[in-house]
């Protein structure tokens, strides 16, 4: 049973730790750094993601094989991911191997030396990943959409970079990026597992004492020049693909929770979302249609994605605009509002059922907000939402004149 009462502790060097006790033989420890792709300079597009790959390729005392084998040899896992905002390196392991995991993560985060030979090999792997993504239109369209609504800004850049940018990276660029972002004020540790806080702190004090400190926390470049745009391109796909959306409130907005609920009602993961019931169940136009809300601290964006046969493309778009209009003009009834609240609470509860996901989420929350909301606080904020507030949010962010579109039409045979 998980005690959803996380503790925040500050190590002697200023590095923050968020700790959550969970009765399980498996523990999870992460190092999350405010160094995602949003912080890249123009000549660094893709560097954060390339660093995520290269950080496993060698330290002052370990070669790549020894890094990859250190936890694998005792049944543990070592992994990492990159988003627009953060790089996270984390380990999952049997709790008796805390010392091994903590020492390995600290060695990677503090002492990586990026051997040039390994970097050249990793470039081929990242380029293969980039080509794989380009072959998948349902993934590619999201990056193209971000580039459309965030032009000439890091939020619009592909996290993977470009073939040209990846080829340009070397040891010096990686070390420079680490020096710029990997320090205590810009980093948090997160832990979920069945190890006493005192024992964990003792181990982390020992292993992470060498992380640099005394630097200024990274501040991303803001974006305030959104202009709605509609774009159609022909792609050599079997299906047409489309994204419809626009700008949304950020993490720090009072409308964040309401926007989450509206997106859930519109096209969340449940089979009874409005778009699923209309586009898929009533008309059978598409197998996959979903709405998403992606917030950053200062702003966010919402999107509706679907793939369909070309002959149903315009019909599906018409239904989407109709559903958006209903949210703007017709407030949720008392029954609809209550159902939406209970559904959102349930989805949040399910998301907390994964300890590794919990560890990652806690680290991100502490890194971005310097606080952790308990599930009781989250539920209370959901309960406060009113139909009038949700309608106001819909009228603000779902206004038809503020909506952007990116459509992949099926290329016609010449």
Measured distance CA(196)–CA(24) in Å, rounded: 12
> What are the tens digits of pLDDT across the range 324-376?
999 999 999 999 999 999 999 999 988 888 999 999 999 999 999 888 988 88
Determine, yes or no, domain membership for 222: no
| pLDDT score of 413 | 64
Which DSSP string corresponds to 301-362? EEEEEEEE-GGGHHHHHHHHHHHHHHHHHSPPPHHHHHHHHHHHHHHHHHHTT-HHHHHHHH
**Segments forming the whole domain that contains residue 184:** 7-208
| pLDDT score of 374 | 85
> What are the tens digits of pLDDT across the range 367-384?
998 889 888 899 999 999
Do the Cβ atoms of 365 and 30 come closer than 8 Å?
A: no
136 and 277 co-located in one domain: no
Determine, yes or no, domain membership for 225: no
Q: Taking the model in full, what pTM does it have?
A: 0.93
Residues of the chain with pLDDT under 50: 1-3, 414
User: In the sheet that 77-82 helps form, which strands lie side by side, from edge to edge?
Assistant: 7-10, 16-21, 187-193, 26-33, 87-94, 77-82
Measured distance CA(32)–CA(15) in Å, rounded: 11
Of 175, 208, 241, the domain-final residue: 208
Measured distance CA(146)–CA(169) in Å, rounded: 24
Do the Cβ atoms of 46 and 159 come closer than 8 Å?
A: yes
Give the count of domains, the chain: 2
- 152 burial (CB, 10 Å; 0-12 / 13-18 / 19+) is exposed
392 and 318 co-located in one domain: yes
Determine, yes or no, domain membership for 216: no
The enclosing domain of 90 has a CATH number of: 3.30.830.10
Q: What angle do CA 386, 295, 223 make, to 5 degrees?
A: 120
Q: Where are the alpha helices (DSSP H) in 153-298?
A: 163-168, 171-181, 197-207, 256-267, 274-275
| pLDDT score of 133 | 82
């Amino acid at each position: 049973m998980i005690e959803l009462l996380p503790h925040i502790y500050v190590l002697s060097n200023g590095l923050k730790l968020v700790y959550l006790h969970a009765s399980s033989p498996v523990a999870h420890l992460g190092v999350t750094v405010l160094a995602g792709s949003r912080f890249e300079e123009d000549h660094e597009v893709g560097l954060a993601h390339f660093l995520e790959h290269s950080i496993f390729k060698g330290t002052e005392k370990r070669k790549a094989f020894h890094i990859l084998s250190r936890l694998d040899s005792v049944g543990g896992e070592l992994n990492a991911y990159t988003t627009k905002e953060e790089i996270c390196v984390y380990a999952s392991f049997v709790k008796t191997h805390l010392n091994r995991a903590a020492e390995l993560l600290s060695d990677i985060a503090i002492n990586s030396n990026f051997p040039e030979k390994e970097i050249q090999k990793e470039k081929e792997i990242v380029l293969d990943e980039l080509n794989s993504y380009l072959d998948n239109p349902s993934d590619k369209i999201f990056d193209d959409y971000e580039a459309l609504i965030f032009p000439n800004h890091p939020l619009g850049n592909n996290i993977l970079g470009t073939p040209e940018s990846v080829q340009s990276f070397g040891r010096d660029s990686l070390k420079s990026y680490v020096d710029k972002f990997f320090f205590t004020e810009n980093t948090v540790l997160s832990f979920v597992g069945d190890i006493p806080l005192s024992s964990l702190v003792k181990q982390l004090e020992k292993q992470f004492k060498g992380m640099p400190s005394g630097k200024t926390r990274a501040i991303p470049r803001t974006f305030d020049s959104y202009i709605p745009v509609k774009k159609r391109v022909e792609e050599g796909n079997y299906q047409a693909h489309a994204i419809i959306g626009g700008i949304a409130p950020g993490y720090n907005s009072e409308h964040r929770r309401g926007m989450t609920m509206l997106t859930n009602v519109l096209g969340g993961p449940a089979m009874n979302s409005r778009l699923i019931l209309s586009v898929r169940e009533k008309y059978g136009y598409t197998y996959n249609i979903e709405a998403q809300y992606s917030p950053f601290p200062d702003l966010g964006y919402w999107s509706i994605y679907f793939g369909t046969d070309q002959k149903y493309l315009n019909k599906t778009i018409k239904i989407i605009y109709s559903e958006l209009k209903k949210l703007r003009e017709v407030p949720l009834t008392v029954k609809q509002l209550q159902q939406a609240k209970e559904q959102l609470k349930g989805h949040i509860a399910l998301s907390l059922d994964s300890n590794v996901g919990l560890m990652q989420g806690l680290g991100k929350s502490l890194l971005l907000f310097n606080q952790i909301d308990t599930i009781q606080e989250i539920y209370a904020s959901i309960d406060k939402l009113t139909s009038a507030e949700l309608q106001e949010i819909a009228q603000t962010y779902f206004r038809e004149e503020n909506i952007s579109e990116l459509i992949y039409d099926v290329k016609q045979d010449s």
